[in-house]
Amino acid sequence: NFMLTQPHSVSESPGKTVTISCTRSSGNIASNYVQWYQQRPGSSPTTVIYEDHHRPSGVPDRFSGSIDISSNSASLTISGLKTEDEADYYCQSYDGRGVFGGGTKLTVL
Amino acid sequence: QVQLVESGGGVVQPGGSLRLSCAASGFTFSTFGMHWVRQAPGKGLEWVAVISYDGSNKYYADSLKGRFTISRDNSKNTLYLQMNSLRAEDTAVYYCGKDTGITMLRGAFDYWGQGTLVTVSS
């Protein structure tokens, strides 16, 4: 089975843009959908991106997802950062077994 | 609106059993696959198991070694997780999640429940 590797933490200022990467260890990143989940402290996860780039209703278009085959990675980009975006973000994929990345703590300061 | 409500968590001794439930509403439960995911205290998310819309296909994390069983009752709009031979390392919040695929598994979650805490301790 493959692994998904994320940076442990990232930080950026309000109003700026941040990108969180998720690198697949083996197999093609495009072979299976990639999702991104947001988890604020003390709360359950919520979906911000599913099936590589789709946003659930209610998720602002400041959140976008993409796939880069050349680096075998997926990315979550959040533009116009707000303090409420501060949370843990997890990437996830599935090939008959679910796989989560280790999570990235986003600090907006 | 879609709602997923887990229940059945609690404190159990090592070696004991517990059955979790996830009551679903706001969508046609019988046409979507469902997942269980857990999160140990202070740790990341760990995928546990998935069941297809009709219950005919079930897949588990290798680490569970046959101790857990996922099932569903479409007449009751409810998902279950039977957990046996529980260990201290099974202590976690357990979440259910709805798959995005209609009558097929896509392995993507669009909705999550609020979670139920399982504590394995003597």
Q: Does A90 touch chain B (CB under 8 A)?
A: yes
Answer whether residue A4 shows pLDDT above 90: yes
For chain B, list residues with pLDDT below 50: none
Query: What percent of chain A shows pLDDT beyond 70?
Result: 100
Let me know: does B66 contact B8? Beta carbons within 8 Å: no
pLDDT of residue B77: 98
pLDDT of residue B88: 97
CA distance A100 to chain B (A): 6
Confidence of residue A1 (pLDDT cuts 50, 70, 90): confident
Average pLDDT along chain A: 97
Q: Which two tokens stand for residue A70?
A: 């050349």
Chain B residue numbers with beta carbons less than 8 Å from the beta carbon of A47 are 109-112
Q: Does B111 touch chain A (CB under 8 A)?
A: yes
Q: Does A99 touch chain B (CB under 8 A)?
A: yes
pLDDT of residue B65: 77
A50: left (phi over 0), alpha (psi -120 to 50) or beta: beta
Q: Which of A82, A32, A39, A14 is nearest to B42 (CA)?
A: A39
Answer whether residue A87 shows pLDDT above 80: yes
Amino acid identity of B104? Answer: M
When CB atoms are compared, the residue of B50, B95, B100 closest to A44 is B95
pLDDT of residue A49: 97
Size (chain B), residues? 122
When CB atoms are compared, the residue of B45, B100, B115 closest to A50 is B100
Chain A residue numbers with beta carbons less than 8 Å from the beta carbon of B59 are 96-97
Residue-wise pLDDT tens digits, A54-69: 999 999 999 999 999 9
Residue-wise pLDDT tens digits, A89-102: 999 999 999 999 99
Q: Which two tokens stand for residue A76?
A: 């979550």
* Spatial distance between the Cα atoms of A5 and A70, rounded to a whole number of angstroms: 16
